[in-house]
Amino acid sequence: MVGFVIQRLLQAGLVMAAMSVLVFVGVYAVGNPIDVLLSPNVDQITRLETIAAYGLDRPLWEQYLLFAGRLIHGDFGRSFIFGVPVLDLIFSRLPATLELTLAAVIAATLLGVPLGMYAGYRPDSTASRVIMGVSILGFSVPTFWVGLLLIFVFGVELQVLPAGQRGETATLFGIEWSFLTGNGLRHMLLPALNLSLFKLAMMIRLARAGTREVMFGDTVKFARAAGLRERTVLGRHVLKLIAIPIVTVFGLEFGSTLAFAVVTETIFSWPGVGKLIIDSIATLDRPVMVAYLVLVAFLFITINLVVDLTYAALDPRLRRGGAR
């Protein structure tokens, strides 16, 4: 197990190094930040001084090494626009995205897995057809459109739910959270629903496919022959047998939503990371973009590692194999 973790950490280090090069070069290609930093009418000397101050006159590889050196020390630089350290900026926005993402992914899983299992258990029932219809809808309708629809119906027409901002927050561990207040929860509802629809569809599909396969297997036959109740068969045997793909998708969806909740955050003016990153792209705030992309890479590597470790916890057959 320890060997497995060390091996995975080394791998993660390599991937991070490669990612930092890609990110750096990629962002370099986006445009010249000097145009953003300075007003067009400053004189040439100030212009050159600023370029030198940010190290933008050096060769690309030198700029990268400087950047990598700072990265290793956890220094992502300062935002060109806000003038504050980039990490502070990102972490000030992260809780908003984090709580929204967690709410969406957890709700989608807690709802989607039982629904999908039912649809796999009774594939021909009317309820199962309805469930699968919802899942097809969740896959095919674009997120932004659903978001607008939600705002229109619940925010504008019925006026039962707020359709923007975080609402009241409360402090936990020195961080502001919306989910701790009733008002904040109400504000979370629509954007979380918007985010979770696609995930719900995916969880339903996964759970259904897995359940259908397992139900025909000998494990279920043997459990039934021993007189187990259907709910025990489903809740203990089947759920555990289909858990691995579900955990995988949970992890990846959590990561991708945390990183790319852009559309929903924009529609609902949710002050999270997605909104920050869209703004930073519009303003060519290079340090923010770079830091964000590096953190996203880091996030995914971490999630993959956690998912792999969860596999080992879920499936005893993988434990020995992993250690070797």
| Region 300-319 residues binding another protein, contact defined as CB under 8 A | 314-317
Contacting residue, 34, 228, 263, 299, with another protein by CB under 8 A: 228
The rounded distance, in Å, linking the Cα atoms of 133 and 127 is: 10
The rounded distance, in Å, linking the Cα atoms of 164 and 102 is: 18
Under the criterion CB under 8 A, does residue 245 sit at the interface with another protein? no
* Total residues interacting with another protein, rule: CB under 8 A: 22
Contacting residue, 156, 225, 282, 324, with another protein by CB under 8 A: 225
List strand residue ranges (DSSP E) for the chain, in order.
170-172, 175-177
Under the criterion CB under 8 A, does residue 221 sit at the interface with another protein? yes
Under the criterion CB under 8 A, does residue 229 sit at the interface with another protein? yes
Q: How far is the CB of 230 from another protein (least distance, A)?
A: 8
CB–CB of 161/149 below 8 Å?
no
Q: Which of 92/219 has CB closer to another protein?
A: 219
Under the criterion CB under 8 A, does residue 181 sit at the interface with another protein? no
The rounded distance, in Å, linking the Cα atoms of 228 and 308 is: 31
Q: How far is the CB of 260 from another protein (least distance, A)?
A: 32
Q: Which of 214/294 has CB closer to another protein?
A: 214
Q: How many CB atoms lie within 10 A of CB 273?
A: 29
Stretch that binds another protein, among 25-33, 56-64, 240-248, 282-290 (CB under 8 A): 240-248
Q: How many CB atoms lie within 10 A of CB 28?
A: 17
Under the criterion CB under 8 A, does residue 98 sit at the interface with another protein? no
Contacting residue, 93, 187, 237, 275, with another protein by CB under 8 A: 237
The rounded distance, in Å, linking the Cα atoms of 262 and 256 is: 10
The rounded distance, in Å, linking the Cα atoms of 305 and 283 is: 34
Contacting residue, 29, 226, 282, 324, with another protein by CB under 8 A: 226
Contacting residue, 126, 227, 282, 324, with another protein by CB under 8 A: 227
Phi and psi, residue 175, nearest 5°: -125, 145
What's the gap between Cα 220 and its chain centre? Answer: 35
Q: How many CB atoms lie within 10 A of CB 23?
A: 20
Q: Which of 174/316 has CB closer to another protein?
A: 316
Q: Which one, of 179, 155, 160, lies nearest residue 101 by Cα?
A: 179
Contacting residue, 181, 219, 248, 256, with another protein by CB under 8 A: 219
Contacting residue, 22, 25, 236, 302, with another protein by CB under 8 A: 236
Q: How far is the CB of 12 from another protein (least distance, A)?
A: 27
Q: Which of 61/222 has CB closer to another protein?
A: 222
CB–CB of 290/23 below 8 Å?
yes
Report, in this order, helix, strand and coil percent for the chain, each rounded to 5. Answer: 75, 0, 20
Stretch that binds another protein, among 5-13, 30-38, 205-213, 228-236 (CB under 8 A): 228-236
Q: Which of 167/322 has CB closer to another protein?
A: 322
The rounded distance, in Å, linking the Cα atoms of 98 and 302 is: 15
DSSP element (H, E) containing 70 = helix 60-72
- Site residues for another protein per CB under 8 A: 217-219, 221-229, 232, 236-237, 240-241, 243, 314-317
